[in-house]
Structure 1
């Protein structure tokens, strides 16, 4: 236990939903005082950098109601209870884009908003792409297309790409390209 640990002394579940749960925790702080923490619990997700042989990446346009706009993102999706992240990534890539990949590389994981949520996203690189079957969820509407990494950077600058997982993925690709260049 580190010196910054907060101990939960009471937990009240405020909301249980299809995607998230919300709880309020009464916590004892490291200095002995008490405070409240609002915590969103999420089952986790996957995000996929699907890259073709020309090093173009696949994006999907999707309307995001909390933002009231359509943004471009890398394919992604929520983990089901007990689901292996790689299996989820394979499922989500095909469902959203109609693509399957022969080569998969796990690139790590990251928390999206650790100040109030426990969502952990597993990032994968999918290569050696071929056709599969699009099979969107009943309430999901997306359009997929390919762009160069350079064009993706321009989409970040224009805020057409405006979500952390996609920006993170594109920056990863830029770093990888730089490392290859430097040898």
Structure 2
């Protein structure tokens, strides 16, 4: 058995032999690469190159959380989730977080803290989702895109945890966001808060 902190991972690495772009869409870049495995054999890796995204955990002063209900076509159902969105080319993650929170919910935050990055589909996507917490919220006008339809709601942490336990809340980024929130609120993990620019 190996130590989880072992930095010598050369025996696990795969090397690119050749690559091909099989589809380029507005958001997704689908690749099919041939790689050399650690034992010298070759294999195929199909994956999506994604520009990255942000997710915001908006905390109201009374302890409730701002969430969204949005139809997600690939799974064919309305999902409950924290506000999130794709990072534009060259856009700093915090700028994206501020923009997405305002556009989707209408809220602006006085303080922000970066929790970390979530890699939600490491077997087939390069997407990393930056997790941000926002507090000191002020309500305002939303600015949804023409193709965006979602409801904004609020819930307590206990309500969201009960929905996760029952299987009603299944969005991976939202579940990881709840984990971050619980660990920060319990004092196990720390966050560095700063004022919004």
Q: What is aligned with 1:41?
A: 49
State the secondary structure of the residue aligned to 1:115.
coil
For residues 107-148 of structure 1, give each alpha carbon's deviation from its aligned partner in whole angstroms, at most 9, with x where no partner exists: 111211111110000000000000222011111101111110
Q: What is aligned with 1:145?
A: 153
CA distance in 2, matches of 1:104, 1:178: 18
* TM norm structure 1: 0.94
Q: Which moved more, 1:108-117 or 1:154-163?
A: 154-163
CA distance in 2, matches of 1:161, 1:135: 26
Aligned with residue 11 of structure 1, among 19, 24, 30: 19
Aligned with residue 67 of structure 2, among 55, 59, 74: 59
CA distance in 2, matches of 1:154, 1:110: 22
State the secondary structure of the residue aligned to 1:144.
strand
State the secondary structure of the residue aligned to 1:179.
coil
CA distance in 2, matches of 1:129, 1:154: 25
CA RMSD of aligned residues (A): 1.3
Q: What is aligned with 1:161?
A: 169
* TM norm structure 2: 0.88
Aligned with residue 183 of structure 2, among 144, 153, 175: 175
Moved over 3 A (4+): none
Query: 1:32 deviation in Å?
Result: 0.4
Structure 2 residue 127 is the aligned partner of structure 1 residue 119: yes
Q: How many residues align?
A: 180
CA distance in 2, matches of 1:9, 1:59: 44
